[in-house]
Structure 1
Amino acid sequence: MCRLLGYISTRNDITLRDAVGSAQLDEFKEISRIHNDGWGTSQISTTHRDAQVNDGGAPSPAAFENIYRTTEPAYLDHNFESLASTPARSSIFHLRLASSNLPLIPENQQPFTADGISFAHNGDISSEDGVNLVHNPDITVSPYEIAQTGGKSDSAIYFAHILHFRNAGFALDKAVEHAIATLREQYANSSYNCLVQTQNQFIAVNATGHDRLADRIAEVYDAYGQREKAADYRVIRYKQIDGGVVVASSGFEQKEDEGWEELPVNHILVADVATGAFEVRALN
């Protein structure tokens, strides 16, 4: 189970600190003492060079992408401050708390990225008796499709389902919806909260199967004396900013009077990276 934070900004590239505020970012970083199984980010930024120049290789792009993932927790990694201070037009940040005894290896760190799509998941996809998705041979996607993600976790298999439906011709937001619907046929009560980004779209989903706090999560937060921060553990909120939107799971202060709104359960937020316009609608 993890913490998610992401944003888009169409007016100009901004930093994560710009997007959420210094106090909130410091809280987000601090919670990595609990979510201490590594962290990662995927950022899309405006290039500093002339775009579409034939300079000997591929034509220079209008935007460049950074992918960073590590098994070191964010609060101990000096690269966190550097990347949180890197201006971007679109970013996803992910703090990991490994679930279901899945290994702490670089391949399982998020965001995953494939085919120009970045993906970060907050949830554990397991059966009612606790058997994780990774042990299920009866799934829609092939081993090759899972390998495309670079990961070996339930989150990687979730992402593989999105890629499967995207490759079948569905628009990205519809591919996300189809992936959730397919996985829910066997894992109805699992959490599918996620952030997805490309150079054209930014997507956030609140798709929890229930709102109760898992005993394991409660025990972890209790051990750090921060049980109150887990009260709304499965909540996703969003806030409109100038020329864009910021989306986050809980774990740092998100006041309603400062513009934060709750993304309802079983809803998807789809934003246009070019215009900053976004819609919130129920999942199909």
Structure 2
Amino acid sequence: MCRLLGVVAREPAALGDLLAEEIPEFLALSREHADGWGIASWAGDEAAVVRDVAAAHDSARFAAATRTELDSGLLHIRLASSGSPVAPQNTHPFVGPGIAFAHNGFFAPRDALDAVIPAELLATAAGNTDSERYFLLLRALLREHDPATAISLAAARIRARATEFASLNCLLLTEEALYAYSEEDPRSEVSKRRGPDFFRLRYHATADRVVVGSSGLPSAEAEWSLLPYRQVLEIHRSDLRVTIHPADPAATAA
């Protein structure tokens, strides 16, 4: 399993300054979630992505990346699922034209979505993770839907086609906004073993920034708002406006 952290700020600043309290906590989690890390960011109209298979707490590249100036970004640390190698092509975030995506959880089988991903997108898969398939399905849905609807539909199609899943938690970063989605199956082995809070996402808004993150960040546990399951959090880059989108009605029949 993995951990997620995202931020949208009113003014660009170094990532380590924007998340001065959260970065040390996130690095502490990387001692368990030690199978790579990645950061995607926007500053103005420029996007950047950096990834590494080293553990974030032991990576000079991660330390350097925290000096990147940005106004919005997502961070991912990976705990690889069984049978999914620690390799650059399996490291989040996955990127496409104008978007970056990171997933926390798993579904099985890994090819459950292959029949509903357009062939030309499926052919671009570089790794063997279920998470990359989630991303490719989302890219296909974004051709016809807004991001919040596309995320809801992608999650519904996983529920309909996978034989099992633990969590569909994800962050999606676009030029316009950062999106977060939270959903788990409490019957999964991971949820039973880790407990009912393991896959929760929480968010916190101030005048200068909005942050969203996985459980395990002590600063978030008590004071941040819980993102309800099957709802999409949208944080607008232009003005930090926060919108909560309920599950799209079409997603219940997907």
Fold conserved (TM > 0.5)?
yes
Question: What are the equivalent positions in structure 2 for 1:164-175 lying under 5 Å apart?
Answer: 164-167=140-143, 169-175=144-150
> 1:53 maps to which residue?
none
> 2:42 maps to which residue?
44
Cα offset for 1:255? 4.4
Distance 1:151 1:274 in 2: 34
2:133 is the alignment partner of 1:133: no
Root-mean-square deviation (Å) = 2.3
Gaps of 5+ in 1: 47-62, 127-131, 219-229
Q: Is the 8 A contact 2:5 2:212 kept in 1?
A: yes
Taking structure 2 as the reference length, what is the TM-score of the superposition? Answer: 0.88
2:40 is the alignment partner of 1:2: no
2:217 is the alignment partner of 1:252: yes
> 1:28 maps to which residue?
26
Q: Is the 8 A contact 1:100 1:124 kept in 2?
A: no
Give the total of aligned pairs: 247
Q: Is the 8 A contact 2:176 2:237 kept in 1?
A: yes
Distance 2:228 2:187 in 1: 12
Larger Cα-atom Rg? 1
Q: Is the 8 A contact 1:213 1:231 kept in 2?
A: no
Q: Is the 8 A contact 1:193 1:206 kept in 2?
A: yes
2:244 is the alignment partner of 1:280: yes
Q: What is the percentage of aligned positions where both structures have the same residue?
A: 29
Which has the higher mean CA deviation after the structures are superposed, 143-152 or 63-72? 143-152
Partner letter of residue 262 of structure 1?
L
Which residue among 53, 75, 78 is the counterpart of 1:96?
A: 78
> 1:49 maps to which residue?
none
Partner letter of residue 4 of structure 1?
L
Which has the higher mean CA deviation after the structures are superposed, 144-153 or 203-212? 144-153
Partner letter of residue 45 of structure 1?
A
Please state whether the residue corresponding to 1:254 is helix, strand or coil: helix
Partner letter of residue 279 of structure 1?
T
> 1:120 maps to which residue?
102
Please state whether the residue corresponding to 1:197 is helix, strand or coil: strand
Taking structure 1 as the reference length, what is the TM-score of the superposition? Answer: 0.79
Cα offset for 1:200? 0.6
> 1:198 maps to which residue?
174
Cα offset for 1:90? 0.7
Which has the higher mean CA deviation after the structures are superposed, 186-195 or 265-274? 186-195
More strand by share: 2
Question: What are the equivalent positions in structure 2 for 1:261-272 lying under 5 Å apart?
Answer: 261-272=225-236
Gaps of 5+ in 2: 249-254
Cα offset for 1:29? 0.5
Q: Describe the shift of the 1:27–1:78 C-alpha distance in structure 2 as closer, same or farther (beyond 3 A).
A: same
Q: Is the 8 A contact 2:36 2:54 kept in 1?
A: yes
Q: Describe the shift of the 1:232–1:216 C-alpha distance in structure 2 as closer, same or farther (beyond 3 A).
A: closer
Q: Is the 8 A contact 1:269 1:281 kept in 2?
A: yes
Q: Describe the shift of the 1:137–1:172 C-alpha distance in structure 2 as closer, same or farther (beyond 3 A).
A: closer
Partner letter of residue 43 of structure 1?
S
2:54 is the alignment partner of 1:78: no
Cα offset for 1:242? 2.3
Cα offset for 1:204? 0.4
Please state whether the residue corresponding to 1:80 is helix, strand or coil: helix
> 2:251 maps to which residue?
none
2:204 is the alignment partner of 1:239: yes
Cα offset for 1:280? 1.5
Which residue among 135, 141, 162 is the counterpart of 1:159?
A: 135
